[in-house]
Structure 1
């Protein structure tokens, strides 16, 4: 089970590094990739990106270093909340095609929460 959880954490890490980095540090590229970015403030997009990047650190480092591994499920809860809020935002904007990614990442984050508690 531990190996499966590490694989899931790795998948989450790669996905959130990609999206978080683009939101936080490649705003113009994010605007071209995601239509919603054009309709919210640059500060909010940056904030979401930074929180996603910090979440990646939280789901990997504590467990890998065996220093406060209880932080890993807490970070996974945080990422799940971000993804859930994103899904609600997409539903509100009637961007139903975008919700699939949210559901997958929500399921993966919940799996990490359950598996690491």
Structure 2
């Protein structure tokens, strides 16, 4: 199970590094034009903040466990991403966007697994 948790954390880290990096580096108008219409009501500063949080949490899913420095940060990073993803699920649900809701629920389930495993029986 430890190997599975590492693999899931690695996959999640890659996903959030890319998604957060896109939010950090592209202007709001380009994000909206590229299919991220759910970000439309958010101010640009909040979008950048969410992107930065996603990038930092991506590193937090891997580096503390890999370096054995404050490994409790791994499940805490997953909890932070859970907060963001619950907001994303609610936002997409209010917009009646079924596909994004389902994709985000998959990410939520994987994050819950990491939180459970790293806070619980498979802690570092």
Task: Confirm or deny a common fold (TM above 0.5).
Answer: yes
Aligned pairs for 1:64-103 (under 5 A) are 64-103=66-105
What corresponds to 1:39 in structure 2? 41
Query: 1: CA distance between counterparts of 2:110 and 2:68?
Result: 21
SS of residue matched to 2:40: helix
Query: 1: CA distance between counterparts of 2:30 and 2:54?
Result: 17
Aligned pairs for 1:1-117 (under 5 A) are 1-27=1-27, 28-31=29-32, 32-117=34-119
**Gapped runs of 5+ residues in structure 2?**
120-124
Query: 2: CA distance between counterparts of 1:25 and 1:87?
Result: 23
TM-score (norm 1): 0.93
SS of residue matched to 1:33: coil
Considering fraction of residues, name the structure with more helix.
1
Cα deviations by residue, 1:25-61 (Å, 9 ceiling, x for unpaired): 1235422221122332111111110010011111111
SS of residue matched to 1:22: helix
Cα deviations by residue, 1:7-36 (Å, 9 ceiling, x for unpaired): 000110111011101111123542222112
- Bigger Cα displacement from structure 2, 92-101 vs 8-17: 92-101
Query: 2: CA distance between counterparts of 1:38 and 1:92?
Result: 13
What RMSD over aligned residues (CA atoms) do the two structures have, in Å? 1.2
TM-score (norm 2): 0.88
Cα deviations by residue, 1:55-107 (Å, 9 ceiling, x for unpaired): 11111111110111011111111111110111011111222221011101101
